[in-house]
Structure 1
Amino acid sequence: MNPTYSAQTVLQTARGPFLILAPVCVLAGVAAALLQPDVQLNWLSLALILAGALAAHISVNMLNEYLDFRSGLDLNTQRTPFSGGSGALPGDPAAAKAVLVGGIATLVLTGLIGLYFLASGAWGLLPLGLAGLIVIVTYTRQINRSPWLCLVAPGFGFGLAMVAGSGYALGAADSPALWLAALLTFFLVNNLLLLNQYPDIEADKAVGRYHFPIAYGVEKSTRMYALFVLGAALSVVVGVVGGWFPLWSLLALLPLLLSVKALSGARQLGAAIGTQPQFMAANVMATLATPTVLGLTLLLG
């Protein structure tokens, strides 16, 4: 007889409160695409883009939770509100198989939605979509053992693949606005995951992970965080100065100031930043609010 498990456990591993990042990425990509005069908003396409983005995000969350549980990492990590996983599976191990199935099912759904857009002629989506699927499948076991790949994979998946991919799926061509919006999100999401790794350094090291903070230390990681904040700011400024973003898009620099607060926390506390979660919260808010403000200014400006 199969052991029973709670459906709530499976839902927890999807990390619902964090799924807002996917619609934010879609907003930035769609808003940049609509700057092109020959791109029109198609509600069916928009719904499928959003569904594919959410499915991809759920898939990477579930697969990461399943593999972290199987490796024993979940039993050793010290969780914060923003790092260390949901902690759902250690309390309900019978749900592990269902979480794996959920991760695979949402991965397949993501691929099927991508195939729909390819069949519709959105061929620019092909390399980004394939690379994005590879990132989902390999992130926990392979990418997390390579410091530089682990550093940029989150930003690639959410920034380049999801933001630019949303634009391509809507029928956009390459444009500076689309890629600058993607770069903005690339830098921010890299920082989101980078800072979240600080509290888990020792636990991650124990299971064989070798991400950037493990390989180069917290001080150099914090410098990299600062460089990514600068890159995000330049993405907005270059877009406005180049005439690809409206002047109002400079408003996106305001929520980016939250990254400066997070940076100050990283400098003060280092690996102990999880003891004062307001700094990690500022990092999350900067990641969500900055592309949102940019997207709204592109739509309204």
Structure 2
Amino acid sequence: MSEAAAVVRASRPNFLILAPLCAGLGIAVAWQQGEPPAAVDTLLVLIGALLAHAAVNLFNEYEDFASGLDLITERTPFSGGSGALPEVPTAARGVLMAALGTLGLVIAIGCYFLWQRGLPMLVLGAAGVALVLTYTRWITRSPLLCLLAPGMGFGPVMVLGTLVALGARMDATAIAASAVSLLLVSELLLINQIPDVEADRKIGRRHLVVTLGRQAAARLVAALLAGSYALVIAGIGAGWLPPWTSVSLLPSPAALWISRTLPACLDRPARLNVVLGVNVATLLATLALLIVGLSL
């Protein structure tokens, strides 16, 4: 594998669909408010979200390689990084440069929207950049922050940041949609930390799987999944979300299966990989269907 291919692989392109879906929630809310946003602004928001996600992945890959974590992690299709740098160590500098470059492009797009929208864009944009730069090195040392930071980044920061960038209002619908995204993404990162717990412990990470144990983490996974679907139901009942967003409840049986199956397969890697895969599909389907429901 060439160094260029290793850099691309380190961005984890297979998982970059998450950011456009979260930004898509903000776009769908903006459309629902009755004034279609400008096409150029919409495209820039989607590009910015994609680049921000790639930057997080690239910084994470570089930091995990530099700390030695990559050398002791047993990778799965859904955790443990891409494995690009252990295979091509000479690509480390390229990965770092790519991380800085993608973050620079995100900041440039953010400056354009800062010029357009003012202070609210600065607050959300600065929060997003801070999360990108601090997640792997510092946030992973704090159990509660490590749980909430991914959800905050892909939820309120990305969803509400999209709304501000497009000149739309931050209303109850937007807050409810961003909260659903927060719970689902935090759950995704939590469950994906389960296979890496021993390696993470060795290099000093202190996320909740390390501090509470895998069984307690599995129960928290179930609570976050249940909370995300309960929030959709509550949002519809309160009038914050339109009735059509009930389509996002369709993956809930899969979420229930994950919650029931996970505790029994923590020591069965092959079975755990199946659960992790179903979890990714469930999250992506829920977010996509929420966008559909907001758009109808």
TM-score category of the 2 structures, normalised to the smaller one = over 0.9
Give the one of 54, 72, 97 matched to 1:101: 97
Conserved 8 A contact 1:124-1:168:
yes
Gaps of 5+ in 2: none
Does residue 1:291 correspond to 2:291, yes or no? no
Q: CA deviation at 1:290?
A: 0.6
Relative to the length of structure 2, the TM-score reads 0.96
Following superposition of structure 1 onto structure 2, how do residues 126-137 of structure 1 map, counting pairs within 5 Å? 126-137=122-133
Look up the match of 1:187: 183
Instruction: Provide the rounded CA distance (Å) in 2 between the counterparts of 1:274 and 1:138.
Output: 32
Q: 2:200 aligns with which of 197, 201, 204?
A: 204
Q: Tell whether 2:30 aligns with 1:33.
A: yes
- List gaps (5 residues or longer) in structure 1: none
| Compared CA separation, residues 271 and 151, structure 1 to 2 (3 A) | farther
Shift of 1:233: 1.0
Going from structure 1 to structure 2, the CA distance change for 1:126 and 1:256 (only over 3 Å counts) comes to farther
The aligned runs of 1:219-234 (5 Å cut-off) are 219-234=215-230
Residue matched to 1:24? 21
- Could you tell me how far apart the structure 1 residues matched to 2:270 and 2:64 are? 19
Question: What does residue 49 of structure 2 align with?
Answer: 53
Q: Are 1:214 and 2:242 matched, yes or no?
A: no
Give the deviation of 1:273 after TM superposition.
5.0
- Counterpart of 2:114 in structure 1 is 118
Cα distance change of structure 1 residues 213 and 5 upon mapping to structure 2, 3 Å threshold: same
Query: Is the contact between residue 25 and residue 159 of structure 2 (CA under 8 Å) also seen in structure 1?
Result: yes
TM-score (norm 1): 0.94
User: What do you get for the CA RMSD once the two structures are aligned?
Assistant: 1.5
Q: Provide the rounded CA distance (Å) in 2 between the counterparts of 1:44 and 1:274.
A: 45
SS at match of 1:210: coil
Name which of structure 1's ranges 69-78 and 26-35 shifts more when overlaid on structure 2: 26-35
The Cα offsets for residues 5-35 of structure 1, whole Å up to 9 and x where unpaired, read as 5211110001000000011111111111222
Confirm or deny: 8 A CA contact 1:198 1:272 kept in the other structure.
no
Question: CA separation of 1:134/1:164 partners in 2, compared to 1, >3 Å: closer, same or farther?
Answer: same
Deviation digits for residues 104-149 of structure 1, max 9, x if unmatched?
A: 1111111111111110025323222211111110111100010000
Identity of aligned residues (%): 42
The 3-state SS of whatever aligns with 1:9 is: helix
Q: How does 1:266-285 map to 2 (within 5 A)?
A: 266-270=262-266, 272=268, 275-285=271-281
**Cα distance in structure 2, aligned partners of 1:67 and 1:271:** 28
- Per-residue CA deviations over 1:21-65 (Å, capped at 9, x if unaligned) read 01111111111122223x322110011001110110000000000
CA contact (8 A) 1:78 1:84 kept: yes
Instruction: Say if 2:262 and 2:272, in contact at 8 Å, map to a contact too.
Output: no
Query: CA shift at 1:265, angstroms?
Result: 2.7
Identify the range of structure 1 (291-300 vs 117-126) with the bigger mean alpha-carbon deviation. Answer: 117-126
Match of 1:170?
166
2:9 — aligned with what? Answer: 12
Cα 1:163/1:272, change in 2 over 3 Å: farther
- Aligned ranges 1:66-105 → 2 under 5 Å: 66-105=62-101
Distance 1:217 1:12, change over 3 A: same
Give the AA of the match of 1:234.
A
- Asked whether the equivalents of residues 154 and 185 of structure 2 are also in contact (C-alpha less than 8 Å), the reply is yes
Structure 2: distance between partners of 1:259 and 1:92: 37
Q: SS at the partner of 1:120?
A: helix
The 10-residue stretch of structure 1 (219-228 or 68-77) with the greater mean CA deviation from structure 2: 219-228
Task: Give the Å deviation of 1:205.
Answer: 0.6
Asked if the contact 2:30/2:37 (under 8 Å) is kept, the reply is: no
